[in-house]
Amino acid sequence: MHVLSRQRGVSLIEVLMAVLIFSIGLIGLAGLLVMATRSNQAGYLRTQVTFLASNMADRMRSNPVGLWNGNYNSTAYPTTAKQSCDINVACTAQQVAVRDQYLWSSMLTTSLPEATASIQCSDKSAAGFTPSADQIGMRPPYGGNCEMKISWSERRAGDKEQRDAKPQTFVWAFQP
């Protein structure tokens, strides 16, 4: 009687099939890694935008005279106008606003790709009262509204037509 022996080892076809299935899984994992990296970059940029907006709102809040006089209103951020005050002569509120705009513009261009911004605050009449120059110097809260728009380019995920940089805009209405 002839006894069939057990087959030992694995055939070449079984090994090739296992390698194929494993390779398909690795390709899917690589695609997932690319998507996660892009999503992480988008989240980073949006975090930078909220930080920059908060930073400029704080600068505006600390210069109420410049804010009341409309020195922060501009549709042309980033700006290159630089203000340097001397240690012998104090800055005026307008000079502080120009310096704030310059420093903020520097952070804007450093932190975001192709960034532009605008800030528009309502005039004194929208506050409901018109403070005198002496009252403004005593740092009353600004009663008007401001709107800040920050735009930047962000690469999208997807096929070739969708991966090009798309403009993103952050709009914030606030009272400094």
- Each residue of 13-25: pLDDT tens digit? 888 888 999 999 9
Spacing of C-alpha 148 from chain mean position: 12
The domain ranges of the chain are 46-174
How many H helices and E strands in the chain? 4, 4
Average pLDDT, the chain: 82
CA distance 6 to 168: 66
| Main-chain phi, psi angles of 89, to 5 degrees | -125, 125
Instruction: Flag whether pLDDT at 161 surpasses 80.
Output: no
Cβ neighbours for 117, distance < 8 A, ≥ 6 positions apart: 77, 78, 108, 148, 149, 150, 151
Confidence at residue 35, expressed as pLDDT on a 0 to 100 scale: 77
The stretch 67-87 carries a mean pLDDT of 85
Instruction: Flag whether pLDDT at 59 surpasses 70.
Output: yes
| Main-chain phi, psi angles of 39, to 5 degrees | -65, -40
CA distance 56 to 78: 12
pTM of the model: 0.72
Instruction: Flag whether pLDDT at 156 surpasses 80.
Output: no
Share of the chain above pLDDT 90, in %: 37
Tokens linked to 137: 């110097």
Share of the chain above pLDDT 70, in %: 77
